[in-house]
Structure 1
Amino acid sequence: MTALALSTAAAAGLKADALVVGVAKGDKGPVVAPGAEAVEKAFGGRLATVLETLGASGGEGEVTKVPAPDGVKAPLVLAVGLGAVPEKGESFDTEALRRAAGAAARALSGTKKAAFALPVEDAAAVQAIGEGALLGAYSFVAYKENGNGKKAKDAKGPLGEAVILGSKPRDKAAKAALERATAVSEELNRARDLINTPPNDLNPEAFAAVVQAAAKEHGLKVQVLDEKALTKGGYGGILGVGAGSDSPPRLVKLAYTHSKAKKHLAFVGKGITYDSGGISLKPAGHNETMKCDMSGAAAVFAAVVAAARLGLEVNVTGWLALAENMPSGSATRPGDVLRMYSGKTVEVLNTDAEGRLVLADAIAKASEEKPDAIVDVATLTGAMMVALGSRTFGVMANDDAFRTALYELAEENGEPAWPMPLPEHLLKGMESATADIANMGERMGGGLVAGLFLREFVGEGITWAHIDLAGPAFNEGAPFGYTPKGGTGTGVRTLVALAERTAAGDLG
């Protein structure tokens, strides 16, 4: 696990295995960014020229390694691109710093100590660089073994220590920024671990056990409803989805409370530990990454623990709806009708539209506590990926102002998002001659249909939002910035930011 530290040492004089400097894309070539003045001097004022000769332009995420000259104690200088030079009077934005630090940390995998001499103007920059370093250094190597119990040669450990230059260790704002970066990033990486864990090792019971262990560690209250309790409580949605699996479902409640809290947030996460589609089996080529269908629950879990570690003055309750969606003789069939926890009946027209069923039960249960707001998080629909691609999540809500606030928080914290509507006319497509509502509607606008379905289970008068992170939850492509291949942990930072903003009284 990568450690973070602050230092006011000169970049050229700090002993480290590598020194990270920023380079921006100027009109006439690469430009060395603030923070690296001493390094530029050691290169005789020619660092930008050397980098350009090696093909560097300063483009975002670009990494160039050069041997350090005399006068620099680190043997290696790593220049990382920050993108375009800011306009006069402006600074590099925090997301550019976060991505640059992440790209550098990935490139320095296996390095014991690296110093980051990137532009640091305030505590926000410290936080961004810290988050980027911790998130970029992430690697999932738990299953990388060569057969004799030792890690395989390609299973490099993460960067050992990242020292952020330019801030005093005793600076209260910088220290708080570093602590926040550490808490949020470590919990986000824990979510990534869960998402990347193979489904034969992470079923609903195992997931619940991980939450119970974390609750004990951080003094949180936890309640786990097993299949008997779910049956007694009438959770037809969760039970219906899990009916075809040998691994029974769970509903986990994880609660963080603060004695001075004035607001209560409820986060609800979809936790399908493996989604085969059930009887409505997914076609070949769509099954291989379905261990990631619990990314929403992982994000909720991580956000609640992070809120506790930060001591936020807000009550946060996480609801994790955990089930495995499998086909078998006992599985729910298309045409079956489920009686949900709320009492509504649902005609199941497609068993691969299972996420909305487990979420509906959890949302209805969460509503009983009358929180100030409910936010559900889910890898819910392929339609959202068609609409927004693989890096942006959709935000829907029953309150326009709340939807806008969530969207803005996501963007501010480096999680690309887009506000989406809930067109009332799409409700007609979910009308059922047999039940109160069907779990499918019109094919076009399927992501919005899913949001409308969930809205039906929100308690009266409760502000609610739905985040569909089907696209960015799992990166099947090459790593970029601080985003690894595999589970990304998307959603965690937005939820934590919402809890912080609520604790500060900035959300009505």
Structure 2
Amino acid sequence: MVSVSLHDPSTLPDADAVVVGVVPGNNGPRLARGAKPVEAVLGRTLLAALRTLGATGQPEEVLKVPTLGLAPFPLVVATGLGADARSAESLRRAVGAAVRGLGHHAHVHLALDGPPGALSEGAQLGAYAFDRYKSSAERPALRRITLGATDDPSAKAELKRARAVVEAITRVRDLVNTPPNDLYPETFAQHAADFARAAKLQVEVLDERALKRERFGAVLAVGGGSARPPRLVRIGYRPARAKARVALVGKGITFDSGGLNLKTANMNWMKSDMGGAAAVVASVCAIAALRLPVEVTATVPMAENMPSGSAYRPSDVITMRNGRTVEVADTDAEGRLVLADAIARALEDEPDYLIEASTLTGAQLVSLGTRVIGAMGAERWRDQVAAAGNAVGEAVWPMPLPEELRAGLDSQVADLQNLPGDRWGGMLVAGHFLADFMPDRLPWVHLDIAGPAWNLGAPHGYTPKGGTGAAVRTIIAAVERLAAA
């Protein structure tokens, strides 16, 4: 990872590039707070140069100005902050957009006034690159980021937290971006176990024999069509004098072809269908790194949903770990099945709260688009988790679970079916299916990250094309709130 350190805001280091903020104004753009030392060393010509270049200060606007020997750094990069220039998320996005284009500069200095944690997160996430499979890739030269901020205990604490968050998001991005011929249930489980052991956490990996012995009927059924058998990973963080116990569950479908109900579109990004599992695995490691006084156990089912002679079929009836039976109406609604098995196991630990994250439904994209997480569950906890996510820069929208939609999950031959006969309210119906496995009075939330977990379009802010690391910041922030209660 890139190193991040603090630097006296009244002076400028000998960096390769210095980033300043620009905000829109009634009389044209103006420099954001923190840029005074840069403007001074350039003889107060920077703003005039930016206006000549057509600067507006709007988000995603990045302009580069060479200093031509007038400063101890060769380049100034001006990044638009937009109208909400003082918010932490605006700063994250602005510095992320600036640093995205500075990967070949060894030392970048941020001359912006703002929370050090947000600036650090935005810069490090913006510097992310996944080039593991490029045979002639040039490794990024960026090794050091300095922030113009006072070196005090509060700032150092923010940098420490930011590092843990960024490391978790980077892990998720790397896992999601890894092609499915290299990331399948066995190797995914090995990565998760390696992360857990490095963090000195308890870890358990169940192979197909153990899954059969432990009655994980849905995980075995969904993974039955693949030559690569399923796994289930359990990771436990047990701090002394924990204030609460939280269960994390994440969907780990390493590739989703749809099974016998073969997908007809979007299969090229179905390697991202394990984004929820990756987020859960990375989050518990980050929570341990931050030493939060909350006990956390992650339960992560991993399977590859493929068509073959051994694949599960529409109209099959699956017996879940908790003994309930589910009729398979559609093999492409597999995520809720493996999640229900994992939830049943997680509930055996008697948690105080449960957070589940998954790339569960295409209906999430229809309802909320590619950048907003849909949250469903017990209303009070749902709203608390959504508020925690929004506070740290992830867009999370609380969604209802209308009672009338539950009837579509009734089955004539089993306790319930995994998909109703109509397609209406698909995101909410999936939430209802999971709700059917939750006990009364348990605070639980389901985070549908189908769109936010994978960026199909161009990079924006600190978000790259491909895997994004969605839900990590929300999960960590929600647990932090429990720790602070």
TM range (shorter): over 0.9
CA contact (8 A) 2:15 2:107 kept: yes
Identify which of 461, 486, 493 aligns with 2:441: 461
Match of 2:322 in 1: 342
Q: Could you say if the C-alpha distance between residues 401 and 158 of structure 1 is closer, same or farther in structure 2, counting changes exceeding 3 Å?
A: farther
- Which shifted more, 57-66 or 287-296? 57-66
Match of 2:112 in 1: 118
Matches within 5 A, 1:64-463: 64-68=63-67, 71-84=70-83, 92-120=86-114, 125-145=115-135, 151-152=136-137, 155-157=138-140, 159-168=142-151, 171-283=152-264, 285-398=265-378, 400-441=379-420, 442-463=422-443
**Whole-angstrom CA distance in 1 between matches of 2:5 and 2:282:** 23
CA contact (8 A) 1:427 1:449 kept: yes
Aligned CA RMSD, in angstroms, stands at 1.2
Aligned length: 484
CA contact (8 A) 2:313 2:331 kept: yes
**Whole-angstrom CA distance in 1 between matches of 2:148 and 2:69:** 20
Deviation sequence 1:104-137 (CA, Å, 0-9, x none): 11011121101100113xxxx1000000011111
Q: Percent identity?
A: 50
**Whole-angstrom CA distance in 2 between matches of 1:321 and 1:202:** 14
1:24 counterpart = 2:23? yes
CA contact (8 A) 2:9 2:34 kept: no
**Whole-angstrom CA distance in 2 between matches of 1:321 and 1:463:** 21
Q: Following superposition, which runs of at least 4 residues in structure 1 exceed 4 angstroms of deviation? A: none
CA contact (8 A) 1:370 1:462 kept: no
Q: Could you say if the C-alpha distance between residues 85 and 273 of structure 1 is closer, same or farther in structure 2, counting changes exceeding 3 Å?
A: closer
Offset at 1:443? 1.0
Match of 1:7 in 2: 7
Deviation sequence 1:271-316 (CA, Å, 0-9, x none): 0000000000000x32101000000000001100000111111111
Instruction: Letter of the 1:327 partner, please give it.
Output: P
CA contact (8 A) 2:326 2:418 kept: yes
**SS at structure 1 position matched to 2:65:** strand
**Whole-angstrom CA distance in 2 between matches of 1:100 and 1:19:** 13
**Whole-angstrom CA distance in 2 between matches of 1:274 and 1:250:** 14
Instruction: Letter of the 2:133 partner, please give it.
Output: Y
**Whole-angstrom CA distance in 2 between matches of 1:25 and 1:43:** 21
Offset at 1:46? 3.0
Offset at 1:353? 0.1
**Whole-angstrom CA distance in 1 between matches of 2:4 and 2:239:** 27
**SS at structure 2 position matched to 1:417:** strand
**Whole-angstrom CA distance in 2 between matches of 1:210 and 1:404:** 32
CA contact (8 A) 1:26 1:85 kept: no
1:474 counterpart = 2:454? yes
Question: What are structure 2's unaligned runs of at least 5 residues?
Answer: none
CA contact (8 A) 1:97 1:128 kept: yes
CA contact (8 A) 1:42 1:69 kept: no
TM-score normalised by L of structure 2: 0.98
Q: Could you say if the C-alpha distance between residues 269 and 61 of structure 1 is closer, same or farther in structure 2, counting changes exceeding 3 Å?
A: same
Q: Could you say if the C-alpha distance between residues 465 and 313 of structure 1 is closer, same or farther in structure 2, counting changes exceeding 3 Å?
A: same
Offset at 1:408? 1.1
Question: What are structure 1's unaligned runs of at least 5 residues?
Answer: 87-91, 146-150
**Whole-angstrom CA distance in 2 between matches of 1:54 and 1:494:** 38
CA contact (8 A) 1:35 1:166 kept: no
